[in-house]
Amino acid sequence: MDACVFCGLISADSARWIAKENAAVAFLPLPGEEIAPGHTLVVPRRHTTAGLLDAQPGDLTLVMDLAQRIAQKMVERLGATGVCLLNASGPGSGRSVDHLHLHVVPRYPGDGDDSLPWPTGRSRHRLAVDPQVLLST
């Protein structure tokens, strides 16, 4: 897994750690890459190639639990008024690293929608069937 930047950071113990737990870790992005002060990445230790699409359910639970605790600390300790939780999974998603990762981005008063890290365009793709029919279980 040496080609995976996150697996490399974990094995080399070379990140700016926020938390290191048995199944999940959290760290700050490289300086200058953060969207907001306190922006944190939460990843499972176990490698995935399609992110959310092939992660083990237990890993998802532990990653989400850690992300929630970090988000709570952002509000309690950093003065954030909310957080954005971002993920891109699968080759067509625009992801930057082939390993499940959640961006926990604190939001501060005055940030405004212009700094919201979210796709601004809309897909032009159309389905022949109602998505509710296809997605309902």
Catalytic (active-site) positions: 101
β partners of residue 34: none
Question: Are residues 35 and 100 in contact, defined by beta-carbon separation less than 8 angstroms?
Answer: no
How far, CA to CA in Å, does 55 sit from each of 1, 82, 87, 93?
15, 26, 13, 16
